[in-house]
Structure 1
Amino acid sequence: MTGVWTGVAEAYARSFAGLCAGAVPTMLDGLPPGTRLLDVGCGTGALVAEARRRGHDAVAVEADPEMAALAQGRLGDDVAVAALPDLPHAGAGFDAVTANFVLNHVDDPRASARELVRVAAPGGRVRATIWTSAP
């Protein structure tokens, strides 16, 4: 997935990021206050920024270094650079794990979905969105 967005972070921020942002409220709705959240494939950091605004302890990981730098500028702290299905986080470490329009871009969506579950705490939530193949 790393190569998909290389060199296009700013263009993504001006285009597809707006489409992806529409799902952010749904991804966060119903999470208890103070949820420890990991956003995988954070893009511009919009989901993490909104999660923090809602009072959650949210951290970001992004596969593309340029995109991670863009998100880091928005969030004001480090964004880990890593790609599914190999996240640099211990298992069962997050109350919620999100992947907003990420699984469409990985080589092995099933292994990547298993990795999202691996880093979620027992009883935690995993929320993911995908683009459909329908028009």
Structure 2
Amino acid sequence: MGPQPPPPPPPTSTASSSDSIVLEQEEVVVVNTGIGNTATMLAFLRSAKTNPVLTDDPRRIFSAKRVVYPGVGSFGAAMKGLKEKELDGVLRERMRAGLPTLCVCIGIQTMASSSDETPGERGMEVLEGMHVS
């Protein structure tokens, strides 16, 4: 075997620092569903240097630039809580509009049509199919 060719040079970036996404002090709306890990999510977002705002105001949730929909719990309890606070509609509209929304744990599960956890309970039907626990 002959000598190996030298490794390629490291990639260089032509993007300037102003092209990068900066979330520092950016407002991130966290949906207050009444269940789950909102305190943990708020602490994480603060550590990431964002400005998290906890709310259950549908207008604020829909108009926000970025939304996090967290939660821990069962499918049925989550859907019940969303309906009681009238948040299911605004979250469904936001997702269907393609607005930046991070759904965590039960947040993504409730986007399904249904769940085997709670037979007969309908999800938000943003994602076709059944959540299987």
Normalising by the smaller structure, the TM-score range is 0.3 to 0.5
Give the TM-score taking structure 1 as reference length. 0.40
Greater gyration radius: 2
Higher helix share: 1
Question: Does 1 or 2 have the higher relative contact order (CA < 8 Å, sep 6+)?
Answer: 1
